[in-house]
A = this chain, B = another copy of it.
Amino acid sequence: MEVKNKYIVIKHQIKDAPKVSNLEVKTGTIVLSLASGSDDIIIKNLRYAINFDTFIAIDGVVVGKVVASGNAKFKKDDLVLGVFTCAEYSLIKEESILRKLESVTIPIYGTEVLGFNGLSAYAGFFELCKPQKGEKVFVSTASGAVGNLAGQYAKLLGCYVVGCAGSQRKVRYFPDGIDIYFDNVGGEMLEAAVASMRIFGRVAVCGVISEYTGGGKKASPNMLEIVYKRINIRGFLAADFLNVFEDFFAKTLDYLRTGKLEVIEDISLGVESIPSASVGLFKGENIGKKIINLAEE
């Protein structure tokens, strides 16, 4: 059976600010059955998670359902999670990019939390910052996909947490100073956080939204304070912390199952909504993870 298949391509590389016209929705066709002997897997995609690098590489975290499988590890109707190009249907030739969701008893809407967004928040907070209960934690873009999780992890540990979404005035909520800053924005917010930091303060630099589009002021943190307060500023990528993935996954799954961790998502419908949703991410329009629902389960 051949069906139409909408998918997204990068039409123009971005210069300066990303625009809707950088991405294009195309329509192709896909056959939903496999030739005899094939070990491919065909997925009907249910949802797609928008990332900041959508404009550079269109791959994202996709949750889908197996339509047909020549691979013994996957069978029809299995729910799977993987990182690949967004489309209504995907033909997967490399089984290693898929993870089965059969053992996950939470609703699929929480799956991104168990992926790189969650790992970013988990590794940045726990592995880089080595937090202690009672420490003062500041999170920028606390309503974003990673920031909201970092804030929730910090609360679950028993930290005093202040999040902000747009204004460095929130730093003033820390009369005694900040121990940990989970930084997603850079710029003046980073300067304000460093200025408010206590000795041995730690900054996990997860993102630099203020600089993604080239317009924002660059951060000039006070280096003298960095020396005297022995501040540690460290950039990181979640991919460097696959060694703690199992710990992260088990703990976070438990938090999700017991309702201790809240999943915050911002949902749009259909492949057609990807270009505007991707641009919206840079404008801070989303509250929680930006998700595209592609089909009902």
Contact = CB atoms under 8 A, between A and B. Distances in A.
Interface of A: 186, 190, 205-208, 211-212, 218-237, 240
Contacts of A218: 220, 222-223
Contact of A234 (B186, B205, B220, B233): B233
A240 B224 CA distance: 16
A206 to B, nearest CB: 7
A219 B235 CA distance: 17
Contacts of A220: 218-220
Contact of A207 (B227, B232, B237, B240): B227
A213 to B, nearest CB: 11
Given A219-B223, A223-B186, A223-B218, A235 B240 contact: no
B227 A231 contact: no
A240 B221 CA distance: 22
Given A219-B220, A220-B218, A234-B233, A227 B206 contact: yes
Contact of A208 (B211, B227, B232): B227
A222 B212 CA distance: 11
Contact of A226 (B212, B227, B230, B233): B233
Nearest to A204: B227
Contact of A223 (B208, B223, B229, B231): B208
14 contacts: A208-B224, A208-B226, A211-B222, A211-B223, A211-B224, A225-B235, A226-B233, A227-B236, A227-B237, A230-B234, A231-B235, A232-B232, A233-B233, A234-B234
Q: Which 5 A-B pairs have the closest CB atoms?
A: A226-B235, A227-B235, A218-B220, A186-B223, A208-B223
A229 B219 contact: no
A232 B235 CA distance: 6
Contacts of A237: 227-228, 230
Contacts of A240: 230
A231 B235 CA distance: 5
A205 to B, nearest CB: 5
A88 B220 CA distance: 43
Interface centre among A223, A228, A230, A236 (most CB of B within 10 A): A223
A233 B236 contact: no
Contacts of A211: 222-224
B236 A190 contact: no
Contacts of A205: 223, 226-227
Nearest to A191: B218
Contact of A235 (B190, B212, B228): B228
Given A207-B227, A208-B227, 16 more contacts: A190-B223, A206-B227, A208-B223, A208-B224, A211-B222, A219-B221, A227-B237, A228-B237, A230-B234, A230-B235, A230-B237, A232-B232, A232-B233, A232-B234, A232-B235, A234-B234
